[in-house]
Structure 1
Amino acid sequence: MTSRIVTLEDIREMIRRINHEEITNEISSDRAIQYRAIFLMGAFTGQRIEATMSKLTVGEVRKALEVDKPCMSIPSDKDKIKMAHYVPLHPNIIGPLKILIEGRNDDELLFSYHSINMWIKHKKFPLSRCEHHFVLGDLRKFAEQHGDAICWNDSNRSYILTHGVSGV
């Protein structure tokens, strides 16, 4: 059991903070687009930020968005447990991802992981329900705790978070 509780309001608050920092020119519009996209994608897919999302390319997302029901194919070298798997893209993240990849080369990394990681560590944004600051791993924790809010059923949750395998 974890002492970290991440709520939908925490995710909304982080998006509001990104928007505020963009408006006050504390972060650029390009960074704000990336930060919003990584927060939404992390919360709505449950993918690990460092092991998986930090390695995704623009081309991989572009390919996923070309089909009727967008779904990313994650190769084994971009997964912590080295297991290839599929990740359906929630409708709420399609728009932000399209904006993020517009005009970019396919071989570029999708996110500037180190930039957002340093920003969030420096700012120390508090979580609403516990005595902790928000960290990027909390996006996966949100997906785990609130699968119903992102329209996951139990089998989808199990597949995404454990790739359908149980722990040893």
Structure 2
Amino acid sequence: MKVAQVSMAVMGLLLAGVASATPPHYARHERSASAGYDYAPVTRVEPIVRQVRVETPTRECYDDVRYVESRPHISDPAVGGRTLVGAIIGGVVGHQFGSGRGRDAATVAGATIGAAVGYDAAARRSASVHEEIVQRCETRYEKRYEERVDGYRVTYEYHGREYTTRLPYDPGERIRVRVAVAVAE
């Protein structure tokens, strides 16, 4: 009886192994489905192009001529002398008007006005005008349009059907695809 039990156990194990084994054509698909990826040939690649505005700064400089008048300072002897003479003449003329305290005020006002007139006459006579070259610069922006590749529209074929996707790169002659198998109910 022991031999019969052992042979029955061996026979049971062999039958269980045969029953659980899958046919060879199913085994290939199971391996493929468990991997989850396959390769498909690419049939067409089209770049997706967009227009982009590009601004390039350009600095432009030019020389600008301006005329500067330089007025002499009061410490210049010619200007100081004319200012003093103007103040004296103005004071004498102002002293001729008014009486009492009004005469003193007229003298001071005449001297002040005379000094201003004398300084102005001296400054105009000895003033000089000279050219001064100043460089002026401006930044201008040159605008132009460029075409940039924004991605690629890729068409590929898998198991007799055609699919299209968008990729950020050109995949070449073949593309890796994810394969998903689901039970049809």
Normalising by the residue count of structure 2, what TM-score does the alignment of the two structures yield? 0.18
Looking at CA atoms only, which structure, 1 or 2, has the larger radius of gyration?
2
Structure with the bigger percentage of helix: 1
